[in-house]
Amino acid sequence: MKKLSTLLILLLVAQLTFAQGKFDKKLSSSDADIANPKKKEQVKTWINRGNLFVEIAEDPVSRLLSGMDKNTLLSIQLRGQKPIEIKTWKGSDGEEYEVYVFDDKDLYFNEAGLLSFWTIKKTEVENPANKAFEAYTQAKKLDPKAATNKELQNGFINLQRVYGSAATDAYMRDDLKGALNGFKGMYEVGEAMGVTDTSSMYNVAFLANTMENYPLAEEFYKKCIAIGYTLDGAVYASLADVIRKSGRKAEAEKILTDAYTQFPINQSILISLINFYMEGGDDPTKVIPIIKTAQANEPGNASLDYAEGSLYEKLNDPKKAEVAYKSAIAKDPKNFFAQYSLGALYYNQAVELSKKADELPIDKQKEYDEMIVEINALLKKSIVPFEAAYAVEQNPIIVESLKNVYYRFVDESPEMKAKYDQYNALLKQFDTQ
């Protein structure tokens, strides 16, 4: 009977041990260390605690890597773990995924059966990444040489990986809130390391704007601008949009007009200015004086003339657009944007005129013939600026446009046929790259 009682006790201990969490002993030890008056003042204590929480945060997927084959993963990496459910999920990108649902995680496999991303649903402690950040931050406070403490810096780097993985996986699942929190965590860890993570900073602003959290979006767009991370001025347009939505119209207008003077070729600022005036019931041509002032200050700046042409084109005034583009080219023949835009202006006019010609009734033959003459003239006018643009930048879009133009005239002369063959061959080379 005594042997039986001993056996029952041993079984009970085993069951209790099994029921305990995987990290219970480590957590208890860490809790004891930070409760100890001496150890809690040691940098190592807090680094170890941060490392522990990073380990806990990654534990559910610690053996997984994106791109793993489903069958291999399930039979080896997750051997002994059975999914609760298998379902399909369609993302906003239109791609369908097979989702293996586990108690602590969901795994998303693409149509090829490869692991694309995952969701961590449960960890042994709540918010382990945040707890790791708190621990590393405390270690930094205690260490006067934190900036050169490799163990601490590695801990921060590993924590950035945790936040980054959470952000990316959440974004893939259309979980904007989760993505925002992840990118914000990455940014804050970077700041703690003394390194500004510009991508995460911008992503926080972008997602906050998308989620209509305008105060947070404004805060982070301003952080971007403060360190010069403007994406060639596009961040100013986004900031103005946020401020306009917050009801501060005059402030938004000033941001846009000042930014446009500084970044005159930035299309997002130009479009934002036009939309700003149109949506407010104002005349979008109010942008023109801004351009004229900038041109007066820098008369030799071809980019300003290009910006003027782009504005007139958006205002559906092709004649003034043509004049402005030509002025830009006269000042700088190697201005790719001006050359390409002039060629595209002619080309697009020809396309629109072709549509109108095709819609003419049969008894309008004379008008049709006149349109064909005009179409051919426009297409031929596009050749020179298109080829000039291609000489500056070898872009397949230009090659395709030139191929289409020359194709129309292959029967006109051997030279036209040779040009068609040249650009057709070039386009095939781009297709194989």
The upper half-sphere exposure of residue 361, i.e. CA atoms within 13 Å in the direction of its Cβ, equals: 1
Q: Tokens 């209790």 appear where? A: 16
Kindly state the helix (H) or strand (E) to which residue 410 belongs, with its residue range.
Answer: none
Q: What are phi and psi of 212, to 5 degrees?
A: 65, 25
C-alpha distances in angstroms, 336 versus 229, 265, 308? 24, 12, 15
In whole angstroms, give the CA distance from residue 329 to residue 272. 26
| Single-letter residue type at 286 | K
DSSP 3-state of 117: strand
Q: What are phi and psi of 101, to 5 degrees?
A: -95, 120
pTM of the model: 0.68
Report which DSSP code applies to 94.
S
Say what the pLDDT of residue 10 is. 39
C-alpha distances in angstroms, 281 versus 110, 285, 351, 397? 48, 12, 32, 36
Sequence-separated contacts (24+) of 107-111 with Cβ below 8 Å: 107/64, 107/73, 108/172, 108/173, 109/70
Counting as low any pLDDT under 50, the low residues of the chain are: 1-19
Is the Cβ–Cβ distance between 398 and 390 less than 8 Å?
Answer: yes
Say what the pLDDT of residue 4 is. 38
In whole angstroms, give the CA distance from residue 381 to residue 349. 11
Say what the pLDDT of residue 281 is. 65
Say what the pLDDT of residue 59 is. 93
**Span between the terminal Cα atoms of the chain, in Å:** 81
Residue 187: CB atoms within 10 Å: 23
Residue 310, classified by CB atoms within 10 Å of its CB into exposed (0-12), middle (13-18) or buried (19+), is buried
DSSP 3-state of 89: strand
In whole angstroms, give the CA distance from residue 231 to residue 221. 11
Say what the pLDDT of residue 20 is. 54
The upper half-sphere exposure of residue 170, i.e. CA atoms within 13 Å in the direction of its Cβ, equals: 20
Domain boundaries of the chain, sorted by first residue: 207-297
Per-residue tokens: 432: 């194989």
Is the Cβ–Cβ distance between 286 and 317 less than 8 Å?
Answer: no
Nearest to 118 by CA among 167, 161, 187, 82: 167
DSSP-assigned letters across all residues of 14-76:
HHHHHHS-TTHHHHHHHHHHHHSTTGGG-HHHHHHHHHHHHHHHHGGGTT--TT-BHHHIIII
